[in-house]
Amino acid sequence: KMKKGPRSKLKAEIKSKTTSNIKLRPAAEAMVELGFLLFLNKLAVEARTKAFEDKSLTIRAHHLPAISKMLLKKSRG
């Protein structure tokens, strides 16, 4: 089970990335958090697959760079 990050950090990050003053409703915050958690889940599954391809039982740091680049390209929409 993953711990949820503080909402204030999420709000501060969104405000720093935008130029206008945006207020998020709680439902929108939940959707952003859900999208992030789904991305992390996909990353873990793909890294696990890559580790099995390399005949490794554990996910190591060298499994993540190529996988994260591929997933970021897919998730841009």
Domains annotated for the chain, with CATH where assigned, are 25-75 (1.10.20.10)
Region of 25 (left: φ > 0; alpha: ψ -120 to 50; beta: rest) is beta
| Helices and strands of the chain, counted as H and E runs | 3, 0
Please, which pLDDT band fits residue 5 given cuts at 50, 70 and 90? low
Strand, coil or helix: 10: helix
Q: How confident is the model at residue 2 (pLDDT cuts 50, 70, 90)?
A: low
Angle at alpha carbon of residue 65, lines to 2 and 45, rounded to 5°: 45
* pTM confidence score: 0.69
Predicted confidence (pLDDT) per residue in 24-45, tens digit: 788 888 888 888 888 889 998 9
Which residue type sits at 66?
Answer: A
